[in-house]
Structure 1
Amino acid sequence: MNDPLDFYHQVWPTHSEYAKRWLNRFPQWDSTEHDEDHLLNCIETWLEKARELSDEKALMAELRLVRQRSMIEIMRRDLQGKVDLFEVTEALSFLADAAVQIALKFSHKMQAERFGEPADGDCMMVVGMGKLGGLELNASSDIDLIFLYNQDGETLGGPTGKTQSHAEFFTQVGKRVIKIISEVTDEGFVFRVDMRLRPNGDSGPLVVSLDMLEEYFVVQGREWERYAWIKARVVNWAVDPAQDAAFQQSLDNLNNIVRPFVFRKYLDFGSIRALRALHVQIRNEVNKRESQHPGSVHVKLGRGGIREIEFTAQAFQLIRGGREPKLQLRRTVDVLEVCVELGLITKDDHDRMVAAYRFLRNLEHRLQYVDDAQTHRLPASPTEVLRIARSMGFQDPGNFMKALNRHMDYVASHFDVVFGDKQEDEETPSLELPWADTLTQGFTHPQAAQDRYQHLIESSRYQALPSAHRERVDRLMPTLLAAAGASSAPDSCWRYCCDLIETVSRRGAYLSLLDEYPIARMRVSRMLAASPWAANFLIKHPLLLDELLDSRTLLTPPDFAQWKQQLRELLDQAKLPDGQPDLERQMDLIREQHHAQLFRVLTQDLENLLTVEHVSDLLSELADCTLEIILERAWDQLPKRHRAQPRFAVVAYGKHGGKELGYSSDLDLIFLFEDEDDRAPDLYAQLAKRMNRWLTTQTAAGTLFETDFRLRPNGEAGLLVSSVASFEDYQRREGGVGAWFWEHQALTRARFCVGDVEIGKKFETLREEILQLPRDWNDVKKEVITMRQKMLDGHPNHTELFDVKHDLGGMVDVEFMVQALVLGYANKHPDLTKNKGNIALLKKAGELGLVPAELANYVADAYRQLRAKQHALRLAGHDKSRTSDPALMVMRKPIRKLWETLLG
């Protein structure tokens, strides 16, 4: 700030008419003797007398005096720069909590003396809403309260035997609490109390049971009430320690009702529209009032004010809080910090937003300090502006206004970015406008496109939608049509757009996302046009639409270490009401998070940011990380574990083992253990089965992988898990009593994946030893040629097209040649056992002189191009990797030449 002042001599207490009045009455309050004590300790000390009073009038007087003294102390320290904003709001909130608790304990005692205690230890819960709930109370704030009790019942009866229903009992308690806190006496009031946020507002009962609250949320709960409940916090504790257990159960019950109402399971982009509508309503009301105060600035509800910062933070909470429990916080600044962590806002935006929040909240307090008034308006009067500017540390009111405008302008611009600055009366183009003019812009079959749309709006699914959803669809389709027309494949893109809308039409959140965010529509259309496989994947998993919003995460390299840590945190938080793991939710979570990472790789792939090799590396690493998490969870679920960590390892074969996974590849796995405990074989078999269920079970979020365990010793006839010793014995015995040649062939692409590192090392050592066994080259050739013919017979191609994978001169030829080289020559060249991939091993063989180096390099490059083509064909939705591309057809000849040279 500019020109800091000596606060004590020039601002305090002249800034506050309220302070001067009370200090004239109690001059001893203007003392610095307690400055070394924390504010909360001072307030707690001053409240000691009130806690012991048994007379209502005396209690009311004492609480009011404590409130005034606390306000003077808070105000003085604040204006002297001895406490920061958050110490002030914490102290004010603590004072309110304590006042409510004291008033509640007194009121409960008075009522119980006449009618007895409520049954089952029931105790009223006082829910602090808004700033009180968030521990963000301002200097002259009212407190928004809701009174709840656990369940209906009847009190145990007083001395005369009279009883009351719980509803009657707690209603009388609540009325007395309100009186004790808010009634104006000669000593003023403690806090103004506002009860209008309770179910049904002023027309509803003063106190409601949890069953009534839950029914209200389900039947009548509105979007603005989700916003209101986001900061909700029970501010009291049990009035009697004997009730602690029952009270804690009531808190748990309340949490289980409120959380799913506020934080939806799926991303809820409909919150944007609801918050925008609420904000427009508030702003319109403020504008009406401001017209009576020309030149003034409303620092709370005006454009760029405090409310817009709060709305920005809470929009992220309402949209994502169900999927990101980290966002289930109350304080605005804490939410903004998590938004940075999750990549929802930049660090710079966070810093500027928090700086604005501090400035505006401090300004709000100084406006209220003047006369203890619930005001948020900076007057236009130069005298008043000067008073406020000096209290904010500015000698020059012009510099103060510049700082204020800078903060509010930034908040307003950022708010418009988050909320799209979308006008409620913004016109949406209609599909009834000239179809031909629109569709001929790039569409090959305009009539088919029109027919597809007509089919959608005439379908029973569309007709059965709630009116709000139909309106969203009607508003959205023209913009999607325009996006499809601008894409690289308008006709197919439009078909997939219609398929997607049909799929998500019952989910208002997804419709809102596409409606609110042009960037999401653009990316959806590009993806739907670029790849049928990607289109179908997105339609199958519409939850992934959210990923399209943020290019900072969407198009940046994955950080799998961070991903694993975040996933572990999410899984830990997925619990049932009794505290046990919610396995169904955990399985959904791991699928959702895996699909999101796969989707990011897919997006970067379609943007040509990754080579095929890099895609496979990332997908293989993602599979490894997923298996690691699943192994941890499956082990923790076993009821009779005999050790903290399993002596167990997962070995990957095939494409996974060779780090050549595709988007829909299955996992070839085997399981090994090394554990002398008698229970180990059965225990690890259970572990493997649980892992497989985690991998393959179809849940609401889909599946993870198909799995194949046929490469384990003795195949489908063998045990699901093998000890390291038995696996080694099997691999070393051949000729029908142990491993077949093709199993050693498969071993060339195997690797330790996850689990016990020592077992992994033993496997890798054993693998290299097996691959380096001396073998007769003629036997190797015979076995490889026989196996190649079996594969060829199993994938006949009766077309004129070239199957880049299975046909002669295709990828399988290259892969079999590499495997033959490893099995035939690793005895003399141990480097060939390193699982480096087919291209690297083929070039290594050329360097070693095992095959012509120039031809080997050519075939290695050809293999890379064939893989790229296979990858492209899969993304294009083709089941078979067949092409007529002449550039690829000519590669068959050198590949067959190398085959004849090596194996002919």
Structure 2
Amino acid sequence: MPVNTLAHALAHSAWLRRTLAADPELAAELPARLHAPFTRAEMSERYAAFAVADEAMLKTALRRLRRALLARLIARDMEGLATLDEVMATISDFALFAVDTALAALKPELARYGRPIGDESGREQEMIVIGMGKLGGDELNVSSDIDLIFIYPESGETDGNRKISNHEYFTLLGKKLIAALSELTADGFVFRVDMRLRPYGDSGPLVMSYAALENYLLTQGREWERYAWIKARVMTGDDAVLADLARPFVYRKYLDYNAYGAMRELYKQIQREVARRDLIDNIKLGQGGIREIEFIAQVFQLIRGGREKSLQTRSTREALARLGDMRLLEPEAVTELADSYDFLRRLEHRLMYLDDQQTQTLPVDPAQRACIATSMDCADWDAFVARLNRVRATVHRHFEQVFFLPTEEHVSHPLSGLWADIQEDGAAAQLGELGYDDAPQVMRSLAAFANSQRYRDLPTKNRQRIDALIPALIEVAAGCDGPDTTLTRILGLIEAISRRSSYIALLTEYPQTLKRLASLYSASPWVSNYLTKHPILLDELLDARVLYAEPDWPQLAAGLAHQLDEARGDVEAQMDILRHFQHAQQFRLVAQDLAGMWPLEALSDQVSLLADTVLAACVRAAWLDIGKRHVEVPKFAVIGYGKLGGKELGYGSDLDLIFLYDDPHPDAPDLYARLARKLSTWLTAATPAGILYDIDLRLRPDGAAGLLVSTVDAFANYQRGKAWLWEHQALTRARFVAGDAAVGDRFEKTRFDVLTMTRDPGSLRAEVLAMRERMRESHPPRDDDIKHAHGGIVDVEFIVQYLVLGHAWRFPELTGNLGNIALLGLAANAGLIDHELAKQAQDAYRHYRRLQHALRLQEGRKVMPDAALLVHYAQVTRLWEQVMQPGPGD
């Protein structure tokens, strides 16, 4: 290839011109190799050709290798042959190669001391080199420092003739490594090495044991260090150190909204430094620069990375993409930030190409300015500056949207004085003017909160944040129905989370959530108690689009499966994932319900689909937790009865379940019994995240005395030969819920066969009436009990069950799991009951369920049997009398 293909690169880079002029051999080979990326294999091949035998030769070999690599990178980039990804990956890969190669070459230099041996393990120790910053994220700049930390596993001493401690040995090795990379020789340098990110910074030891690092992170690690350790990457040695030590420090198990304050403070420090050093033209640190994009990605990583392991990535662009996938950032914002990052990083490289200097500051020299403008495809400097300003404005706009100032830093809330003087004369009057019904009592409640020992003992930061919150909460609660009760409930929440600074931080960082919070706390005591019990759900209030979005169950199931897979092997983590998922989805449905988005039947379908999704995920995850399983997918099914079976679940409903399997393997009975027990534990065990569901397994064959799990054949034989009539009644509201569809199909066939059996009408009626009487003995009918009242819910259910069992042999459509309302309509169409009575019973059943649902949300309230309810009771009773009257031939 002719040399003039380098014209653009040579015109842009004074360093490249000098280097090729001083190295004719490199100048001759570069055009021929220009179209090939500089790979790890080529690094190894070129290094081997130097036949390194000592420290001096090591330095020469690495520096000349760097010169060849940088020359090709500049040329490929400037000639349009290399992408940003290639440039960053190649220089990052070279840093890994240089560190690894240098360590291997330097260890023999310390042979006189012998091998470093661990006191505890008795094994030889290796130095672990951790790359930080852009090196850790494979995003290194071509002329950047590399940020390193040196650690080693165990204390001990060497086993040579001249024994020294492991700490001394690795300190010597670390110093040699730094010199091998950063010392300026006639051949230049390899990388400038920055060790200031190590514990205690410049004043700390150069190397540190695992134990010392762990102690430091636990006791003295600062918030800005969490940000730095996001990109930590083990370059040499065992990478378990990050999982064991660093990740728990960086990524908290809870949603950590304190990260906002920490990152905001770090940003302020950077901006003070920018102002002090007049770095306004610095495209990394200045406003709208690279650092702002990194901060946007990393604050979400710090907040959510402990729960969303997909955010535990070292790459800024990968993190942005995942934030877009999770809708934590809008897709348009992700695209604009990614494009801006690409522009700024390419510009950063072109600034460094000018003279191989570590700089991110725009040049003042006219010739250099012209080079930069041309290299960024702009006609002249003014056009370039205009484009750069647009990019920086875009970045800073998104930065401000993410890092807007919290409530406590705004101008004081108008009601701050009321809260500060809550016990003073006039406070009650002011509360009354705001709309509180019993203003003196509200004032006393607020004063009791302010005087409580719990509030007084809070850390100063928490108390300041609460002081900023209370005036806003007084205001939003005053605008709700029942303001007194609403504020009392919210104060209960604030008291419950007062020591959990992350939740307090969430509410102060996102003041727009307060109105949503007050609305929910006003609407329902059940909702307020649920949210107070599970404050992690406060996160659900942040984005109304997510909170009120109709659930996409296949997508949600896939996301849940992915989370469970990432946590495989950690049962406690998996159980918490399941609970967080179930609580979050149920809370979204409650919010949508209160907003009037769902008719009751559709809402019950959604609550039932949630249970189905959780059960399916439980089956899969619990089975994978069983060792020595003979198949990867269990031939096992979960069958739902009762409200789950009939898709009439409400909030907090129990699940009536049975477990079936169809597997001839000799180990199957034991394995599926273990799976059933494990499922029961996973569903009902109380963890710090709460429980999933209460379950009832008594509907299995032979009830509580029966096996926890049965084969489908045994279940079929039991239903046909031993089951009581009430068990066939229960079967009318049963369905396959989760697990192996083939096993579910066999259950459904058995169910159909049993329900379509011919039965003697008189005997059937007598048994159903006897069963209903036994229920009335234990639950005497009362008009304020809509379930057990004469003409209430149970009577409707018994009517439907009788019709199915008595007539499905003639009308098989009655076996469909359609719900009581639809089955009443089918029975009327079949001529089994009067159409008008059927319609009245359908209306009554809807009314009962709506009333039951409302009572659930307004927990503690009782039914007031008004005229409308009594009419419904009478209408259902008339249908009962018609259906249960003996017919001809009975």
Q: The TM-score by the shorter chain falls in which range?
A: over 0.9
Q: Please state whether the residue corresponding to 1:12 is helix, strand or coil.
A: helix
Structure 1 residues 235 and 409 mapped into 2: Cα distance closer, same or farther (>3 Å)? same
What does residue 828 of structure 1 align with? 810
CA shift digits 1:183-221 (9 cap, x unpaired): 222322221111111101111111111111100011111
The offset of 1:886, in angstroms, is 4.2
Structure 1 contact 90–137 (Cα < 8 Å) conserved: yes
What does residue 40 of structure 1 align with? 39
The offset of 1:593, in angstroms, is 1.5
What does residue 679 of structure 2 align with? 691
Structure 1 residues 476 and 190 mapped into 2: Cα distance closer, same or farther (>3 Å)? same
Q: Do structure 1's residue 410 and structure 2's residue 394 form an aligned pair?
A: yes
Q: Do structure 1's residue 21 and structure 2's residue 7 form an aligned pair?
A: no
The offset of 1:439, in angstroms, is 5.7
Structure 2 contact 113–159 (Cα < 8 Å) conserved: no
Structure 2 contact 284–291 (Cα < 8 Å) conserved: yes
What does residue 512 of structure 1 align with? 505
Corresponding letter in the other structure for 1:825: H
What does residue 3 of structure 1 align with? none
CA shift digits 1:237-256 (9 cap, x unpaired): xxxxxxxxxx43xx313421
CA distance in 2 between counterparts of 1:895 and 1:51 reads: 96
Structure 1 residues 852 and 67 mapped into 2: Cα distance closer, same or farther (>3 Å)? same
Q: Please state whether the residue corresponding to 1:312 is helix, strand or coil.
A: helix
Question: Mapping of 1:734-753 within 5 angstroms?
Answer: 738-753=722-737
Q: Please state whether the residue corresponding to 1:878 is helix, strand or coil.
A: coil
Structure 1 residues 696 and 45 mapped into 2: Cα distance closer, same or farther (>3 Å)? closer
Corresponding letter in the other structure for 1:533: W
Question: Mapping of 1:335-734 within 5 angstroms?
Answer: 335-379=319-363, 383-422=367-406, 425-429=409-413, 430=416, 431-432=419-420, 435-436=427-428, 437-438=430-431, 440-574=433-567, 581-733=569-721
Question: Mapping of 1:102-113 within 5 angstroms?
Answer: 102-113=101-112
The offset of 1:870, in angstroms, is 1.3
CA distance in 2 between counterparts of 1:345 and 1:448 reads: 43
CA distance in 1 between counterparts of 2:625 and 2:315 reads: 35
Structure 2 contact 5–31 (Cα < 8 Å) conserved: no
Identity, % of aligned positions: 45
Q: Do structure 1's residue 92 and structure 2's residue 122 form an aligned pair?
A: no
Q: Please state whether the residue corresponding to 1:208 is helix, strand or coil.
A: strand
Structure 2 spans left out of the alignment, 5+ residues: 886-890
Structure 2 contact 116–169 (Cα < 8 Å) conserved: no
Structure 2 contact 407–509 (Cα < 8 Å) conserved: no
CA distance in 1 between counterparts of 2:665 and 2:105 reads: 62
CA distance in 1 between counterparts of 2:407 and 2:186 reads: 50
Task: Indicate which of 801, 813, 818 corresponds to 1:819.
Answer: 801
Structure 1 residues 102 and 766 mapped into 2: Cα distance closer, same or farther (>3 Å)? closer
Structure 1 contact 182–193 (Cα < 8 Å) conserved: yes
What does residue 59 of structure 1 align with? 58
The offset of 1:467, in angstroms, is 2.5
Corresponding letter in the other structure for 2:547: L
What does residue 197 of structure 2 align with? 197
Corresponding letter in the other structure for 1:867: R
Structure 1 contact 29–73 (Cα < 8 Å) conserved: no
CA shift digits 1:172-192 (9 cap, x unpaired): 111111112112223222211
Greater Cα offset, 372-381 or 296-305: 372-381
Structure 1 residues 403 and 884 mapped into 2: Cα distance closer, same or farther (>3 Å)? farther
The offset of 1:347, in angstroms, is 2.0
Structure 1 contact 297–377 (Cα < 8 Å) conserved: yes
Structure 1 residues 455 and 108 mapped into 2: Cα distance closer, same or farther (>3 Å)? farther
Structure 1 residues 103 and 722 mapped into 2: Cα distance closer, same or farther (>3 Å)? closer
CA distance in 2 between counterparts of 1:604 and 1:757 reads: 31
Structure 1 residues 740 and 519 mapped into 2: Cα distance closer, same or farther (>3 Å)? same
What does residue 262 of structure 1 align with? 250
CA distance in 1 between counterparts of 2:599 and 2:64 reads: 73
Q: Please state whether the residue corresponding to 1:14 is helix, strand or coil.
A: helix
The offset of 1:694, in angstroms, is 1.0
What does residue 150 of structure 1 align with? 153
The offset of 1:687, in angstroms, is 2.3
Q: Do structure 1's residue 795 and structure 2's residue 779 form an aligned pair?
A: yes
Q: Please state whether the residue corresponding to 2:148 is helix, strand or coil.
A: strand
What does residue 301 of structure 2 align with? 317
Q: Please state whether the residue corresponding to 2:10 is helix, strand or coil.
A: coil
CA shift digits 1:739-765 (9 cap, x unpaired): 222111111101122223233222212
CA distance in 2 between counterparts of 1:403 and 1:862 reads: 68
CA distance in 2 between counterparts of 1:365 and 1:375 reads: 9
The offset of 1:491, in angstroms, is 1.8
Structure 1 residues 423 and 42 mapped into 2: Cα distance closer, same or farther (>3 Å)? farther
Structure 1 spans left out of the alignment, 5+ residues: 1-5, 237-246, 576-580
What does residue 578 of structure 1 align with? none
Segments ≥4 residues shifted beyond 6 Å: none
Question: Mapping of 1:291-310 within 5 angstroms?
Answer: 297-310=281-294
TM-score between both structures, scaled by the size of structure 1: 0.92
CA distance in 2 between counterparts of 1:416 and 1:439 reads: 38
* Count of residue pairs brought into register by the alignment: 868
- In angstroms, what is the RMSD of aligned CA positions? 2.3
Q: Do structure 1's residue 859 and structure 2's residue 826 form an aligned pair?
A: no
Structure 1 contact 146–195 (Cα < 8 Å) conserved: yes
Corresponding letter in the other structure for 1:471: Q
Structure 1 residues 542 and 849 mapped into 2: Cα distance closer, same or farther (>3 Å)? same
What does residue 244 of structure 1 align with? none
Question: Mapping of 1:164-203 within 5 angstroms?
Answer: 164-203=164-203
The offset of 1:109, in angstroms, is 2.0
Corresponding letter in the other structure for 1:229: W
The offset of 1:10, in angstroms, is 6.1
Structure 1 residues 506 and 109 mapped into 2: Cα distance closer, same or farther (>3 Å)? farther
Greater Cα offset, 331-340 or 434-443: 434-443
Q: Please state whether the residue corresponding to 1:779 is helix, strand or coil.
A: helix
Question: Mapping of 1:775-790 within 5 angstroms?
Answer: 775-790=759-774
Q: Please state whether the residue corresponding to 1:668 is helix, strand or coil.
A: strand
